[in-house]
Chains A and B, each alone.
Chain A
Amino acid sequence: MTARSWWKLPLALLLTALMLFPVYWMVNVSFTSRDSIRKGQLIPLDFTLDHYAVVLHDQLPYLGTSLLVGLGTVLLTLAVAAPSAFALARLALPGRTLLNFLLIVAQMVPAVVMSLGFYSIYSKAGLLNTIPGLILADSTIAVPFAVMLLSAFMAGLPGELMQAAQLDGASTWRTFRSIVLPMSRNSLITAALFAFLWAWSDFLFASTLNREGGALRPITMGIYNYIGAQNQEWGPMMATAVVASLPAAVLLIVAQRYVAAGVTAGAVKD
């Protein structure tokens, strides 16, 4: 690289450090014993591993549930969003503009409104306190966005390949499965990323629809074990957040490579 950009790495490190400073504070508190948490010390002088011991003892089942719910949400979201995005972008779906508009409107509905409505439906359908129910609820956060993202990308794909496939007699489904999906790999991964993150951090649906699920509750609820009526334990809560972020961070870094490669990678050039 040119000499001009030697400053880019240190600057990037500085910016990242600034951005992640609150995360550092979190880790700091997770290693500090309760007496010193509010002292505002920059490093955990009153060091303890107790919080992590508590967390590893309590929270692992919740972590497992969160991972399950996250991955399930990704699958459901893509299953609903990808075909619809294809129809919107390339199949001259009647009522396209209306559907686009409705997708935007759908995202405007406050989560509070949705969760109250969901409780009623789920109660009657017997979906309360189940993992599939939670996956379904969490997917509502991601589906409209995923459709918008995927249809925007699929609209930009070169039509020649698809036309060639049609000439060869391939059905629309075949075209979708064998040509469009692989070419959309990066935008699918981007949509999957958002779906996973939103499901991972959801609290509202979990607490409304899954409160009696026992171990089958996600980590966002597991953390509430440390919030008592008059007593909250910040050390274990911060430790939970750290432990909970690790698997998700790993997934992020892996997925980032595909998002990073750019949405046109995989697209065929003229």
Chain B
Amino acid sequence: MSPTTFHRIAAIGAVLATGAALTACSSSPAPGEDGSASEGSTTSKITFWDPYPQHKEGSAWDEHVKECAPDGATITRTSAPQTDLFNQLTSAVKEGNAPDIVVLDNPMMPSAVGAKLLATAEQAGISTDDVDENLLGPGVVDDVAYGVPFGSNALGLYYNADVLAAAGVDPASITDWDSLNAALAKVVAAGSKGITFSGVAGEEGVFQFLPWFWGAGADLEDISSENAVSAGQLISDWVGEGYAPKSVTTDNQSAAWDLFLTGEYGFAVNGSWFAAAASDADFATGVVPIPARDGGVAPVPTGGEFAVAPIQDDDASDHYANAAAVIDCLTSGDAAMKTAETLGYLSAKPDVRAQQVAENPLWGPWVSSVEGAEGRTTDLGGAYVDVSASLSEAIQGALNAAGDPAGVKAAFENASGY
């Protein structure tokens, strides 16, 4: 281009660079360290963010939340998928217009705390009494609690009773990996398809894989151990033998459930949130706990979200008072039961849970899984996200290897999360 044009471009570039340097110098306001719920009073407008867009305006959950507004206040509730919600929260805290209450997925808690996005439970007046320790774990960072879980869901092994009966498989006989594989072989030989699960890239796939991972005795501190590789080999073989559909690499849990609903599959690894849908299906269903490799019940990861109060810059005490009031309302008394039932979770408080089971026999098979669930971030804290990233890569590699042992081993040894 002509010299004049070039000079013009250079001049503009210089102006922009100077302007940008000035912008870079000004930093965002420091996080509000002051403020406590006890010092503030509730305001008339309360904003509530949760990751349940399926519960639209007018749905049971929506009404339940809005009923928990303190006198004279109204709650505005909006939803977004979990990762988006977290990113939106990040931008909002940065700009100083964070909502009063956010419901955040439990493995995100250490990252949120590390980025100084959240007020402590004490600051925000959130009570963590009577909550099971294993479920509270993900929300405790450096011995400080940051929020309270509404409840937990758990993973289980659903089965299509009709398909199993036709194949001559007794669900009670599935107690370890060998018996599971034998059952799958029988189901496929009888003309049905085997098992659906989600191996999608990201935390959802890792969530689904952890019962097999932990059930093989592997530890998140070392994902290239022999036990870890054996868990990877298990799911890889399912794809290779045709027991599991090849779409597991891109199916999330909902898509895997859609496959199970077609009635063509014998088994589905999926969560307790589908328990009601399972009982309504066209075919008879049941659920057994996920077996560990050599017998016993495999530990499942804790599911569910935490109710937290984000850091506020202005009028922090009032915002925290809002959070205290609403979260307290949602997690105590009869409302706690309603919260758990509406969301399809088993409550994080044992007495409420017992009540749930008494009133709804659907929950019976899930109680032991929830009580034995392990937090993903409880031990690793903020380091979990990197482990999860590597594990997700390993899972994807193993599934794509479709049973090839060298491929599975390489996937687990070479996984780097970047």
Which residues of A line the B interface, CB within 8 A?
A: 34-39, 58, 95, 97-98, 101, 116, 119-120, 123-124, 207-208, 211-212, 214, 224-234
Give A230 to B274 CA distance when docked, in angstroms: 9
Identify B53's interface contact among A35, A120, A225, CB under 8 A.
A225
Q: A211-B78, A225-B56, A230-B254 are in contact. List 18 more A-B contacts (CB 8 A).
A: A35-B262, A38-B259, A38-B262, A95-B8, A119-B91, A211-B80, A211-B88, A212-B47, A212-B76, A225-B53, A227-B53, A228-B53, A228-B54, A229-B51, A230-B253, A232-B254, A232-B255, A233-B54
Which residue of chain A has its CB nearest to the CB of B153?
A230
Asked if residues B258 and A34 are in contact (CB atoms below 8 Å), the reply is yes
Q: What secondary structure prevails in chain A residues at the interface with B? A: helix
Asked if residues B282 and A35 are in contact (CB atoms below 8 Å), the reply is yes
A-B pairs with beta carbons under 8 Å apart, 5 shown: A35-B281, A227-B54, A228-B55, A230-B253, A230-B273
Asked if residues A123 and B97 are in contact (CB atoms below 8 Å), the reply is yes
User: B257 — which chain A residues lie within 8 A by C-beta?
Assistant: 231
Asked if residues B81 and A224 are in contact (CB atoms below 8 Å), the reply is yes
**B5 located at the interface, meaning its Cβ lies under 8 Å from any Cβ of chain A in the complex:** yes
Which residue of chain A has its CB nearest to the CB of B282?
A35
Which residue of chain A has its CB nearest to the CB of B80?
A211
Give A214 to B305 CA distance when docked, in angstroms: 23
Give A214 to B76 CA distance when docked, in angstroms: 9
Q: List B residues 177-198 near A (Cβ within 8 Å).
A: none
Give A45 to B47 CA distance when docked, in angstroms: 44
Asked if residues A120 and B51 are in contact (CB atoms below 8 Å), the reply is no
Identify A97's interface contact among B2, B55, B252, B255, CB under 8 A.
B2
Give A39 to B265 CA distance when docked, in angstroms: 11
A227/B56 contact (C-beta < 8 A), A38-B258, A123-B97, A232-B254 known? no
User: A39 — which chain B residues lie within 8 A by C-beta?
Assistant: 262, 264
Asked if residues A34 and B261 are in contact (CB atoms below 8 Å), the reply is yes
How far, in Å, is A44 (CB) from chain B's closest CB? Answer: 14
Q: List B residues 330-386 near A (Cβ within 8 Å).
A: none
How far, in Å, is A118 (CB) from chain B's closest CB? Answer: 11
Residue interface mask B250-283, A partner, CB < 8 A = 1: 0011110111011110000001011000000110
Asked if residues A227 and B258 are in contact (CB atoms below 8 Å), the reply is no
**B95 located at the interface, meaning its Cβ lies under 8 Å from any Cβ of chain A in the complex:** yes
How far, in Å, is B409 (CB) from chain A's closest CB? Answer: 31
**B30 located at the interface, meaning its Cβ lies under 8 Å from any Cβ of chain A in the complex:** no
User: A120 — which chain B residues lie within 8 A by C-beta?
Assistant: 95
Identify A229's interface contact among B1, B8, B82, B95, CB under 8 A.
B82
User: A231 — which chain B residues lie within 8 A by C-beta?
Assistant: 54, 253-254, 257, 273-274
Give A226 to B91 CA distance when docked, in angstroms: 24
Asked if residues A101 and B282 are in contact (CB atoms below 8 Å), the reply is no
Q: List B residues 223-264 near A (Cβ within 8 Å).
A: 252-255, 257-259, 261-264
A212/B54 contact (C-beta < 8 A), A97-B2, A101-B1 known? no
User: A212 — which chain B residues lie within 8 A by C-beta?
Assistant: 47, 76, 78
A97/B5 contact (C-beta < 8 A), A58-B56, A123-B95, A229-B51 known? yes
Asked if residues B95 and A119 are in contact (CB atoms below 8 Å), the reply is yes
User: B80 — which chain A residues lie within 8 A by C-beta?
Assistant: 207, 211, 224
Which residue of chain A has its CB nearest to the CB of B8?
A98
User: B9 — which chain A residues lie within 8 A by C-beta?
Assistant: 98, 101
Q: Which 5 A-B pairs have the closest CB atoms?
A: A228-B54, A123-B95, A232-B254, A35-B261, A38-B258
How far, in Å, is B336 (CB) from chain A's closest CB? Answer: 20
Identify B54's interface contact among A101, A225, A234, CB under 8 A.
A225
Asked if residues B252 and A232 are in contact (CB atoms below 8 Å), the reply is yes
Give A97 to B264 CA distance when docked, in angstroms: 63
**B315 located at the interface, meaning its Cβ lies under 8 Å from any Cβ of chain A in the complex:** no
Give A39 to B263 CA distance when docked, in angstroms: 10
Asked if residues B258 and A37 are in contact (CB atoms below 8 Å), the reply is yes
Residue interface mask B137-158, A partner, CB < 8 A = 1: 0000000000000000100000
**B84 located at the interface, meaning its Cβ lies under 8 Å from any Cβ of chain A in the complex:** yes
How far, in Å, is A41 (CB) from chain B's closest CB? Answer: 10
Give A197 to B8 CA distance when docked, in angstroms: 34
Which residue of chain A has its CB nearest to the CB of B51?
A229
Give A267 to B264 CA distance when docked, in angstroms: 63
User: B51 — which chain A residues lie within 8 A by C-beta?
Assistant: 229
How far, in Å, is B12 (CB) from chain A's closest CB? Answer: 8
Give A38 to B253 CA distance when docked, in angstroms: 14
User: B55 — which chain A residues lie within 8 A by C-beta?
Assistant: 228
User: A58 — which chain B residues lie within 8 A by C-beta?
Assistant: 56
How far, in Å, is B212 (CB) from chain A's closest CB? Answer: 19
User: B253 — which chain A residues lie within 8 A by C-beta?
Assistant: 230-231
Give A232 to B51 CA distance when docked, in angstroms: 13
Asked if residues A35 and B81 are in contact (CB atoms below 8 Å), the reply is no
Asked if residues A234 and B258 are in contact (CB atoms below 8 Å), the reply is yes
Which residue of chain B has its CB nearest to the CB of A129?
B78
Give A98 to B12 CA distance when docked, in angstroms: 11
User: B53 — which chain A residues lie within 8 A by C-beta?
Assistant: 224-228
How far, in Å, is B109 (CB) from chain A's closest CB? Answer: 16
Give A227 to B282 CA distance when docked, in angstroms: 23
How far, in Å, is A202 (CB) from chain B's closest CB? Answer: 16
A228/B52 contact (C-beta < 8 A), A97-B2, A207-B84 known? yes
